Amino acid sequence: MPKYLLIMRGTDESNAAMMADIDEMMATTRQFIEEMVKAGVLLAAEGLDDPGQGVVVDFSGEAPVVTDGPYGETKELFGGFFLVDVASKQEAVEWAKRVPAAPGSKIEVRRVPGSDEVPQVDE
């Protein structure tokens, strides 16, 4: 069964909307997680801290450059993920539609290839 990562991408506005009623958001998210567990599809789920607390390690130059704060000029920031084990891409999309996401945010659905699909390097 293929695995998919449901990547939550929020904007400053959607993050602010979510924080405004964080208790409600936490409760609906817990309920959603429970639903996925009972359906036998959830492998992992995590949410990330405020992007302002993050650090960026930039490999553009010869040596990595470390800067504080959110990643570049990107408007949509990675805020958390659900890793699901489902029958099809369509099922992953159907679960993505059910994520209790704040208005303005987006969810990117990406397939995780199996370990037998990744080219192996012989040593």
Residue 116 interacts with other proteins (CB under 8 A)?
yes
Residue 87 interacts with other proteins (CB under 8 A)?
yes
Tokens of 21: 């009623």
Residue 113 interacts with other proteins (CB under 8 A)?
no
Tokens of 116: 């037998």
How far CA 22 is from CA of 16, 25, 98, 109, in Å, comes to 10, 5, 18, 24
Instruction: Find the shortest distance in angstroms from Cβ 95 to other proteins.
Output: 7
Handedness of CA 109, 113, 119, 121 (dihedral sign): positive
Of 9, 25, 85, 104, the residue at the interface with other proteins (CB under 8 A) is 85
| Chain residues 7-46 in contact with other proteins, contact rule CB under 8 A | 37-41, 43
Residue 60 interacts with other proteins (CB under 8 A)?
no
The one-letter amino acid at 62 = E
Q: How many CB atoms lie within 10 A of CB 64?
A: 10
User: What CA dihedral angle connects 42, 100, 79 and 46, to 10 degrees?
Assistant: -30
Nearer to other proteins, 60 or 90 (CB): 90
Residue 93 interacts with other proteins (CB under 8 A)?
yes
Of 6, 8, 18, 86, the residue at the interface with other proteins (CB under 8 A) is 86
Could you give the CA distance from residue 16 to residue 10 in angstroms, rounded to a whole number?
Answer: 9
Residues binding other proteins (CB under 8 A): 1, 37-41, 43, 85-91, 93-95, 114-116, 120
